[in-house]
Structures are given as C-alpha cells and as structure tokens.
C-alpha cells in the first residue's frame, strides 16, 4: 500500500516535495522523477496521484494507439521500461493537448535514457526532471524506527547505530 503516512519525508527529498505541489509549473506539464530502485519512486507517484486525482499506470501497460485521450492527470511508473515507446510518446502528446500534467518515474534521467524514438527522447528531455536520492542518515534512522515499531520492537540506540553504520545505504537493506 502507498499510504501518505508511510512515506518518509526528510532533507534528502524536501525539494522534490515542493516540486510535486507545483504541477502547473512543470516544463510542458511533465515531471520525470528518477532514482535508484527502492528509493520510493512508485510510492511517490501514488501519493501525487492521490493528491491530484491522477490515474496511475505502468509504462509496461501502455498500448498504441492509446485507448482514449486522458481526462485526468497521469502518473506513469517505470517510464524507462516502456515496451512501446510509440505508445508512451502518444500518451504524453495526448495529455499535453488536454492540458493535463504527467508525472513519470524512471531509473535514469531522460538525458541518459536509451530511447530509440527521437521524438520521445526530445519530449522527455524537455520535461522537468528531479532525482529522488537515496535516504540520508536521518531518513534511514526514521525508517529503522518505523520498521521496528511495526514489528512491536524497540531498537536500542547502540544497536541502531551499529546497523546504520554497517548496512548498505538503502531502505531495502533495513
């Protein structure tokens, strides 16, 4: 589940939070949020969708031609894994023509994505882009506390420091 209370905000992602609230200011009404696997891109897309009334879809599910032009904002997860670049291209165009914002998630920024369709590459590079970086120390500590609380456990401070100093710097490791 992608509940708002389950997403941890910290200094590492504060700028992105402000950017999500300003969809009309996104370049061409598109924002590409990129980051490593497991940093929370999908969760963030669902949060934005709930807040903006957007339809959440995965790029793997896009088909050509689109079934119908969008009538609500879109959140497209894993945009860089689209099976049909043409379908993604047409979906972005239809949303732009309808004046609807689109949030896309990806593992790499558009400038580094291996996109064969030049028009799609150009559309994505003309989008606003933001990185969802991995968690900082404070965010990792908050996550460890939350995970322990969900299991009705308390982690003593020395143990927490030990774990945070030695585990990989990613949420999945906790």
Mean pLDDT by runs of 10 across the 174 residues of the chain is 77 83 92 91 93 91 68 92 89 92 96 94 95 85 88 91 88 80
What's the pLDDT at 139? Answer: 82
- Which residues lie across from 131 on neighbouring strands? 34
Enter the pTM of the model.
0.84
- The SS3 assignment for 102 reads strand
Phi/psi-derived region of residue 78, left when phi > 0, alpha when psi is between -120 and 50, beta in every other case: left
What's the pLDDT at 117? Answer: 94
- Within the chain, residue ranges assigned H as helices are 14-20, 41-52, 85-98, 118-125, 137-150, 157-166
């Amino acid at each position: 589940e992608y509940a708002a209370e389950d997403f941890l905000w910290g200094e590492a992602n504060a700028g992105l939070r402000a950017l999500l609230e300003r969809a009309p200011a996104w370049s061409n009404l598109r924002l590409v949020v990129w980051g490593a696997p497991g940093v929370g891109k999908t969760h963030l897309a669902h949060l934005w969708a709930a807040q903006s009334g957007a339809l959440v879809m995965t790029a793997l599910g896009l088909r050509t031609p689109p079934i119908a032009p969008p009538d609500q904002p879109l959140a497209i997860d894993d945009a860089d894994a689209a099976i049909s670049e043409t379908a993604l291209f047409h979906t972005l165009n239809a949303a732009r023509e309808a004046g609807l914002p689109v949030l896309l998630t990806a593992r790499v920024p558009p400038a580094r994505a291996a996109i064969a369709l030049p028009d799609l590459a150009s559309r994505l590079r003309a989008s606003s882009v933001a990185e969802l970086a991995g968690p900082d120390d404070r965010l990792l500590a908050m996550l460890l506390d939350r995970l322990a609380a969900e299991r009705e456990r308390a982690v003593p401070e020395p143990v927490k420091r030990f774990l945070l100093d030695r585990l990989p710097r990613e949420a999945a490791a906790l």
